[in-house]
Structure 1
Amino acid sequence: CQVHQVHHKNARDKLTPRGSSLQFFSATETLLNSQQYLNMENHVSHVTTTAEQPSNEARLGILELANMISVPMSLNAVVRLNVPDVIWQGGSNTPLSASAILSHVLPDGGGDAENLQRILRMLTSYGVFAEHLVNTDDDGGSHQRKFSLTNIGKTLVTDQNGLSYGPYILQHHQDVLMGAWPMVHEAVVDPTVEPFVKVNGEPAYEYYGKKPEMNGLMQRAMSGVSVPFMKAILDGYDGFEGVGRLVDVGGSAGDCLRMILQKHPSVREGINFDLPEVVAKAPTIAGVSHVGGDMFKSIPSGDAIFMKWVLSTWTDSECKLIMENCYKALPVGGKLIACEPVLPTKSDDSRRTRALLENDIFVMTIYRAKGKNRTEDELRQLGLSAGFSHFKPIYIDYFYTVLEFQK
């Protein structure tokens, strides 16, 4: 405030290094006894006593949120350093010290084990690692910290097929994506602003298409997420029975179709439909044809159409167009099987709700400001607007919901 600035200047003039200790206390006393300062103090006191004081829990809560970026960036670090695979060691999950982990990460020596330990301790507090204190003397006065993987941490271990959630972590935190996050507020001020576009000059999908390394990481990320989900859906959903020709819209490398055909031999033909630059790098899969195209123009015909995590990244009008093209590509009685994150009607603080809502903000920031995760009723209304007559949600997975739209 202005009063504070005036007295701060006066005090600074009197408290120069030329002054003695006596001058210091004299100047301070003059400042504290000034009527203007007392008036300001009374004003501040009035403000603070009439406002509700936050509890210790509230202050801790906001401090945790303010420092929350430490969590994903530390996850990014341990994935880059291959820490989960080092600890896992083919299934042993033997607790290791930071120094032991570092010796595997940097076999030629070097590095800072203390900094690694700091990262591991923080992620332990979020349930990624388990911490073990091992006594190093008979008196128990000294100990060594060792770390093993929890069930959450095990999702970052590379499996026999080369898959894990690690690429998903890396894909979410590339420099080009991180630059869009300071622009989130602009999507509120102006709904036409796309944060990623504002920073990078073009939409994310177009940008990825020009960057082979980013496109490759995206495919690995989607494979790592898709395979666990597809295992759950194939165990709990029988909607692929009786389908002869199945089209996967936005199928990326074709992992979902491969798993569906293995589980359901009655599906004689699979069409993996995605952007030309995506399917150009897709591997050969028995029974699957890779077809490039644009889902906003037309979609290959089939007895059923499958799509996963497609509608969330587009606006309501764009989703309607996609679903209308699906409707045209289906025979009477055919169905669109969409797997999407479905938001609860009412927010709560469960892990599932947080994951869904956090992903919704990711979509808003990186893909489309008006692309979004939707509630069950919003998805039902989209289907009806595109011409589908029946809608059936099937809750199988922790994150995705299977949605049947029947023609």
Structure 2
Amino acid sequence: MENHVSHVTTTAEQPSNEARLGILELANMISVPMSLNAVVRLNVPDAIWQGGSNSPLSASAILSHVLPDGGGDAENLQRILRMLTSYGVFAEHLVSADDDGGSHQRKFSLTEIGKTLVTDQNGLSYGPYILQHHQDVLMGAWPMVHEAVVDPTIEPFVKVNGEPAYEYYGKKPEMNGLMQRAMSGVSVPFMKAILDGYDGFEGVGRLVDVGGSAGDCLRMILQKHPSVREGINFDLPEVVAKAPTIAGVSHVGGDMFKSIPSGDAIFMKWVLSTWTDSECKLIMENCYKALPVGGKLIACEPVLPTKSDDSPRTRALLENDIFVMTIYRAKGKNRTEDELRQLGLSAGFSHFKPIYIDYFYTVLEFQK
């Protein structure tokens, strides 16, 4: 006898105003990163900052800075600024435009969030990180996120572009350059926080940075800790080929899945989250082999809370987790503290210590 499954539709309660607003906000959320992308491309944060004044400016005044030859649409820029104001990137100032106060002119300044997009004296900001995340080849992968559920063996990025992201970057010098600027812009403020609150580099003579990109982190570590006599910046050959000369640092190209240069300690940041559990175990086993007894792997990674909540920190961590799944590895992931501890044990490390300094990244010590 053929079984028939009946689908009974019941009338649900009408959604509340809050529920309807919530789903509409989520459905239109793409406006936020795309508007951030727009203000970075237009150099709006630098135009408002003006060397530190951060004086409120109208959209027309901002436009005169970013398009000095004229043109542009101030009203459309203002629309973007208002939306980002609602997310805390800009502060809005309503200034009376006439004596009776009947009309107002909108002006905008930078909030603490907005200031992260200002180019500093070293040419760094979080701007390249935003641009790197929203390049055309990356954006094309996002409509395929569901495919990471259907078939986790192939990343959405690969389904769209035909090869893994890192291989794709390696063939595109402009993308590789943007990646390095993005990593430098994020790494430097993070490393300042780490160096102010973490003393684990004391007593280390030879330090290896796995996935060190341009070598910014080693440069900062050596400046803070002169006891580190030698730094090894270890990354893919095409990456270190473009790395600048840094006193006390040697740039070494190679493959962390095959071997890692030996050192008293090994440092890595944002590496484990982009690989699967088995790949992470292999990387950590190679770290273990490269360390002396008592040596340590110092990993800086996003650490997920055990329980989900709606705090800005948890949201940022989970959003980043989906980015990893979509672009880099469908089974690469941000992990909980316990998952990271178990990975360390599986690679041979007998001691594990998490140190919470930065709001986003956690320092993880694995000792041999």
Shorter-chain TM-score range: over 0.9
Pair 1:319–1:49, CA change in 2 (3 A): closer
CA positional deviation for 1:157: 0.2
Pair 1:160–1:49, CA change in 2 (3 A): same
User: Structure 2: how far apart are the matches of 1:45 and 1:198?
Assistant: 36
CA positional deviation for 1:120: 0.3
Q: What are the Cα deviations for residues 242-272 of structure 1, in whole angstroms up to 9, with x where unaligned? A: 0000000000000000000000000000000
Q: What are the Cα deviations for residues 379-404 of structure 1, in whole angstroms up to 9, with x where unaligned? A: 00000000001000000001000000
| Higher relative contact order, chain-length normalized (CA < 8 Å, sep 6+) | 2
Pair 1:344–1:132, CA change in 2 (3 A): same
Give secondary structure in 2 for the equivalent of 1:247.
strand
Give secondary structure in 1 for the equivalent of 2:182.
helix
Q: Where in structure 1 are there 5+ consecutive unaligned residues?
A: 1-39
Pair 1:402–1:46, CA change in 2 (3 A): closer
Q: What are the Cα deviations for residues 337-363 of structure 1, in whole angstroms up to 9, with x where unaligned? A: 000000000000000000000000000
CA positional deviation for 1:52: 1.9
CA positional deviation for 1:43: 21
User: Structure 2: how far apart are the matches of 1:353 and 1:52?
Assistant: 30
**TM superposition score normalised by structure 1:** 0.88
Equivalent residue number for residue 384 of structure 1: 345
Q: What are the Cα deviations for residues 316-374 of structure 1, in whole angstroms up to 9, with x where unaligned? A: 00000000000000000000000000000000000000000000000000000000000
Equivalent residue number for residue 339 of structure 1: 300
CA positional deviation for 1:136: 1.1
User: Structure 2: how far apart are the matches of 1:348 and 1:395?
Assistant: 18
Equivalent residue number for residue 48 of structure 1: 9
- Equivalent position to 1:365, from 323, 326, 329: 326
**TM superposition score normalised by structure 2:** 0.97
CA positional deviation for 1:45: 20
User: Structure 2: how far apart are the matches of 1:204 and 1:352?
Assistant: 26
CA positional deviation for 1:88: 0.2
User: Structure 1: how far apart are the matches of 2:367 and 2:80?
Assistant: 49
CA positional deviation for 1:143: 1.1
> What is the aligned residue count?
368
Deviates more, 1:239-248 or 1:187-196: 187-196
Q: What are the Cα deviations for residues 168-219 of structure 1, in whole angstroms up to 9, with x where unaligned? A: 0000000000000011001101121210001001000000000000000000
Give secondary structure in 2 for the equivalent of 1:43.
coil
User: Structure 1: how far apart are the matches of 2:85 and 2:3?
Assistant: 46
Q: What are the Cα deviations for residues 93-125 of structure 1, in whole angstroms up to 9, with x where unaligned? A: 000000000011111111100000000000000
Pair 1:42–1:242, CA change in 2 (3 A): closer
Equivalent residue number for residue 125 of structure 1: 86
- Higher helix share goes to which structure? 1
Give secondary structure in 1 for the equivalent of 2:5.
helix
Residue 156 in structure 1 maps to residue 124 in structure 2: no
User: Structure 2: how far apart are the matches of 1:43 and 1:50?
Assistant: 22
User: Structure 1: how far apart are the matches of 2:204 and 2:65?
Assistant: 49
CA positional deviation for 1:53: 1.6
User: Structure 1: how far apart are the matches of 2:37 and 2:182?
Assistant: 13
User: Structure 1: how far apart are the matches of 2:148 and 2:7?
Assistant: 37
Q: What are the Cα deviations for residues 65-97 of structure 1, in whole angstroms up to 9, with x where unaligned? A: 000000000000000000000000000000000
User: Structure 1: how far apart are the matches of 2:216 and 2:342?
Assistant: 30
Pair 1:152–1:287, CA change in 2 (3 A): same
Give secondary structure in 1 for the equivalent of 2:138.
helix
User: Structure 2: how far apart are the matches of 1:365 and 1:50?
Assistant: 36
Pair 1:101–1:377, CA change in 2 (3 A): same
Kindly report the root-mean-square deviation, in angstroms, between the aligned alpha carbons of the 2 structures: 3.3
Pair 1:317–1:43, CA change in 2 (3 A): closer
Give secondary structure in 2 for the equivalent of 1:132.
strand
Q: What are the Cα deviations for residues 10-66 of structure 1, in whole angstroms up to 9, with x where unaligned? A: xxxxxxxxxxxxxxxxxxxxxxxxxxxxxx999999999831221000000000000
Residue 313 in structure 1 maps to residue 247 in structure 2: no
User: Structure 2: how far apart are the matches of 1:183 and 1:341?
Assistant: 24
Deviates more, 1:241-250 or 1:182-191: 182-191
User: Structure 2: how far apart are the matches of 1:89 and 1:353?
Assistant: 33
User: Structure 2: how far apart are the matches of 1:355 and 1:298?
Assistant: 33
Give secondary structure in 2 for the equivalent of 1:48.
coil
User: Structure 2: how far apart are the matches of 1:242 and 1:303?
Assistant: 9
Pair 1:43–1:326, CA change in 2 (3 A): closer
Among all aligned residue pairs of Structure 1 and Structure 2, give the percentage whose two residues are the same amino acid.
Answer: 98
Residue 188 in structure 1 maps to residue 141 in structure 2: no
User: Structure 2: how far apart are the matches of 1:317 and 1:45?
Assistant: 43
Pair 1:275–1:49, CA change in 2 (3 A): closer
Pair 1:47–1:100, CA change in 2 (3 A): farther
CA positional deviation for 1:142: 1.2
Q: Where in structure 2 are there 5+ consecutive unaligned residues?
A: none
User: Structure 2: how far apart are the matches of 1:105 and 1:161?
Assistant: 21
CA positional deviation for 1:305: 0.1
User: Structure 1: how far apart are the matches of 2:41 and 2:177?
Assistant: 16
Give secondary structure in 2 for the equivalent of 1:342.
strand
User: Structure 1: how far apart are the matches of 2:317 and 2:264?
Assistant: 31
Q: What are the Cα deviations for residues 109-157 of structure 1, in whole angstroms up to 9, with x where unaligned? A: 1110000000000000000000001111110001110000000000000
Pair 1:83–1:251, CA change in 2 (3 A): same
Deviates more, 1:183-192 or 1:364-373: 183-192
